[in-house]
Amino acid sequence: MNQSELAKERYLELVKKATPNSKILKNCVKAFIIGGLICCLGQFIHAVLERFGLSKTEVSSYTSIILVFLGAFFTGIGWYDKLGNFAGAGSIVPITGFANSVTAPAVEFKKEGFILGVGAKMFIVAGPVIVYGTLASVLVGLFYFFTR
């Protein structure tokens, strides 16, 4: 009796110890699969566009544009958030997630008007990305300029 209770307690303790990590592992597997699949979609779009005889830069730019469109569209119809609940970083890290970070607040804050709602809130995540991305590009640009 006493022993079985003790065993139970120890078991619960073990469960408690193991749960967060196995949850993280599970999240990582989901992120891996969805993130990988989104990249494969990008690779496929890239391969199709290459057949149209576009230049290399054009192909990669149009691939990004199409992925951004898909991210915005599926955010608009509400599917991307569902995917996000499942995939976590798997849907945040690809460029479709960047599109989602622009579209979701744009739709959500529409009720606050088109200037300070849609126009401003659009950049709640994309803004910092652009700011620090640009700053990083200036730094590496300076380095490249003086060392090339």
Partner 1 sequence: MKELVLEYLKVFVVGGLICVIGQILLDKTKLTSARILVLFVVAGCFLGAIGIYEKLADFAGAGATVPLPGFGYNLYKGVCAEIDQNGFLGVFTGGIKAAAAGVAAAIIFGFLASLLFNAKEK
For residue 105, the minimal CB distance to partner 1 (Å) is: 9
Site for partner 1 in 105-144 (CB under 8 A): 106-108, 110-111, 114, 118, 122, 124-126, 128-130, 132-134, 136-138, 140-144
Angle at 17 between CA 16 and CA 19, to 5 degrees: 65
**Inter-residue contact 122 to 102 (CB < 8 Å):** yes
Q: Which two three-digit tokens encode residue 113?
A: 């008007």
> Of residues 33, 48, 54, 116, which one binds partner 1 by CB under 8 A?
33
Residue 7 vs 40, nearer CB to partner 1: 40
Cβ–Cβ < 8 Å for 72, 102 = yes
Side-chain-facing half-sphere of 138: CA atoms under 13 Å: 6
Q: Which is nearer to partner 1, 11 or 69 (CB)?
A: 69
39 to 98, contacts with partner 1 by CB under 8 A? Answer: 39-40, 42-43, 46, 60-61, 63-65, 67-69, 71-73, 75-78, 88-90, 92-95, 97-98
As a whole number of Å, the end-to-end CA separation of the chain is: 77
